[in-house]
Amino acid sequence: MQQQLRIWLCVCVFFGIYIRATKNTSSNNSTHLIVVGSAICWTTKQQSNRTYYFQCCYNYFLWCGTCVTFVASIYWYSYPPDIRFNWIASTILFTSRFLTNLLILMETFWEKQQHDTFLILLQEIEDSLRLRLRWDTQRPLLLRHLQRFLIYQIALSLIGTVPSMAASFIFVNYGGYLWRGLWFICAIRVRTLQLLVYLYVLHHYLEGLCKKLHQIVAFRMAPSRQLLDVDYGKLGTLEYFIAAREIYTLLYKAFRLLNDFAGWSLFGIVISYMLDISSNFYWLLLSFDDAQNRRFYYWADLWWFLPVISCVGYLCYWCNCCKQLDRTVAHLLSKIITRSSSRSAAHYRLVLHDFSMQLQLQHIEVTSKNMFVIDVPFIMSICTAMAMHLVILKQF
């Protein structure tokens, strides 16, 4: 899967949220085979090490650049006396974006091994679904959907960001920290899109596992509804069910790795987006009240809401879909246990009950370092927090 996502991962390398090369500790004179596009070439481990160190130096440069930009913006930025509280709100929002960007850059170093293991695990899950469960993973269709999704999100971000920046200078002649924090905004958006791509792929694989479990249920409960193009002879075997259980274990490990290498990023992204939406909504209300000559500022805020709300909505939606599919797996397993307890062999029943205990202990969900679970109900918590933040702003 890493090869299929290589173009998108190159974009992630540019923003410092992924290190593509792997440091080699063995002899520098040996060679190994790599794949670039559709061509195969040989490269030395010395060249790979050189690429790795170059990317590390680039990430250190970004880390230093973000710190210098933040300190310089806070120290040299002057604000009009009549909009002091607006400056405080802008500073809080600017600081949240800076801290989120730092978390993203630090996770690139700290959790690099988990990230690489996650990409390898995606390929292993795909191979297991195709070879062991005989499920057509539809990789070309999946990649086309991902390509359309990325194009849609990038276009929406440009449509929302460019008019907002133009309106900030045309109507109010006030850019605030917008230009100084533009890199922070782009890095956070790219990190969010990267996590959305991973969630989309995991949802696709988890959905394929559910389809195979549906076939096992049909084989056990409704023989008259069996499809002619499905080999039901293998569905009742112990090996087939063990393969399904092991694939679920791989999916659970993939979600655990996602929580490990992106947990702090998710925390910073959610907090930054929450402050972003509530602060811009506050400025939107000011524009309706014609306060501080912000009569037409709502044009900038309305355009800015589009990509931010889209990212938050998709993030919570795909996390919730994966969580619901995990419950679907447990529901289908309970049906298989009900129909198989009396007529199956002892080994098959033992594997069924072990799988059932595994589902009770292991839940697939996306969390931010176990501080909160990201799903659709989490949107209500975000709205509540934004409302409290907005009330505080309005009282001042």
pLDDT digits (tens, 9 = 90+) for 143-178: 899 989 999 988 888 887 777 776 666 655 555 566
75 lies in some domain = no
pLDDT band at 197 (very low <50, low <70, confident <90, very high): very high
Dump pLDDT digits (tens) for 22-52: 544 333 333 343 343 434 344 445 556 777 8
- What is the rounded distance in angstroms from the CA atom of residue 160 to the CA atom of residue 154? 10
Q: How confident is the model at residue 30, as a pLDDT?
A: 39
- Tell whether 78 is covered by a domain: no
Q: Tell me what pLDDT residue 303 has.
A: 75
Pair 372, 378: CB distance under 8 Å: yes
271 part of a folded domain: yes
Q: 40 or 332: which carries more pLDDT confidence?
A: 332
Which residues of the chain form beta strands (DSSP E)? 31-36, 39-44
The pLDDT value given to residue 333: 86
Q: How many domains does the chain divide into?
A: 1
Q: 69 lies in a domain?
A: no
- Listed range (30-39, 75-84, 260-269, 363-372) with the worst mean pLDDT: 30-39
Residue 299 lies in a domain: yes
Q: What percent of the chain has pLDDT over 70?
A: 76
How far apart, in whole angstroms, are the C-alpha atoms of residue 244 and residue 251? 11
Which pTM was predicted? 0.85
Answer yes or no: is 245 within a domain. yes
**Domain housing 231:** 89-395
344: left (phi over 0), alpha (psi -120 to 50) or beta: beta
CA 86 – CA 79 distance, rounded (Å): 9
* Residue 6 domain-assigned (yes or no): no
Residue 55 lies in a domain: no
- CA torsion angle for 97, 99, 102, 107 (degrees, to 10)? -100
The CA distance from 17 to 319, in Å, is 21
